[in-house]
């Protein structure tokens, strides 16, 4: 019997792919307005490579961007990018349609939790900004526990916090290689939500095959 449902955050509870792409585009436009020279599309591709190299939590993407473009450090241009990114994020950080009413119904029957890679404060910022933080009894982040998905330990820690067994828990996430594979290693049931940039990803090995797949969040109610 399923007693708990755990969720990933990005591209599971909200459209992370659309938000980050739009915010990065807007930041580049704002930097160009502030005096940055260059083609928007070309600068965007350079920024994407920088973010991939240093990680999304690196605090100086725009500093590195100016270096990559062979330009001197310019606080005005960097600030323009940061402000545009933050303003865009605030406007686009909304739950997927159906998330809130579905969580309300699930909370009446199951314990709910979050398992997420990343910095603890940043993950909590997302949940608070989305207005979803009060739904979850447990939020486990890789920074806090020292393990990250797909390592099975991060899932096991989350399960133990609810004093349950793996077979009593379901993991819902968008990534086959991280959310689904890791949860299956821990002995959980898995549901893949086909959203965001990984929606067309296909399993590359057996432990990446989810028990169920959904396209819309509210389909969880029928499966559970």
For 22-32, the pLDDT digits (tens) are 999 999 999 99
Residue 205 — pLDDT band, cuts 50, 70, 90? confident
CA-to-CA dists, residue 23 to 20, 27, 38, 66, 217, angstroms: 5, 6, 18, 18, 24
pLDDT at 168 over 90: yes
Beta-carbon contacts of residue 114 (< 8 Å; ≥ 6 apart): 6, 7, 8, 9, 123, 127, 136, 138, 139, 140
The DSSP bridge partners found for residue 115 are: 140
Q: Write down the pLDDT at residue 179.
A: 98
5, 106 Cβ separation under 8 angstroms:
yes
- Alpha-carbon distance 78 to 65, whole Å? 9
Q: What is the pLDDT of residues 43-81, one digit of tens each?
A: 999 999 999 999 988 999 999 999 999 999 999 999 999
Whole-structure pTM value: 0.91
- Alpha-carbon distance 68 to 81, whole Å? 16
Beta-carbon contacts of residue 87 (< 8 Å; ≥ 6 apart): 26
* Averaged pLDDT of the chain: 96
Q: What is the pLDDT of residues 34-43, one digit of tens each?
A: 999 999 999 9
Mean pLDDT of 194-200: 94
């Amino acid at each position: 019997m399923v007693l708990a449902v755990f969720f990933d955050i990005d591209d599971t509870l909200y459209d992370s792919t659309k938000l980050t792409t739009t915010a990065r585009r807007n930041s580049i436009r704002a930097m160009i307005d502030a005096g940055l020279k260059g083609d928007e599309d070309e600068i965007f591709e350079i920024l994407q490579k920088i973010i991939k190299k240093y990680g999304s939590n690196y605090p100086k993407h725009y500093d590195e961007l100016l270096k990559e473009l062979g330009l001197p450090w310019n606080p005005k241009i960097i600030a323009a990018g940061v402000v545009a990114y933050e303003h865009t994020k605030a406007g686009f950080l909304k739950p997927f349609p159906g998330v809130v009413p579905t969580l309300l119904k699930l909370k009446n029957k199951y314990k709910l939790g979050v398992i997420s890679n990343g910095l603890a404060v940043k993950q909590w910022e997302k949940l608070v900004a989305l207005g979803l933080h009060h739904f979850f009894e447990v939020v486990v982040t890789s920074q806090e526990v020292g393990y990250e998905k797909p390592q099975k330990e991060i899932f096991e820690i989350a399960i133990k916090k609810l004093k349950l067994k793996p077979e009593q828990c379901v993991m819902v996430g968008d990534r086959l290689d991280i959310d689904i594979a890791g949860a299956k290693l821990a002995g959980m049931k898995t549901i893949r939500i086909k959203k965001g940039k990984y929606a067309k990803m296909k399993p590359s090995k057996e432990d990446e095959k989810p028990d169920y797949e959904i396209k819309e969040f509210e389909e969880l109610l029928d499966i559970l």
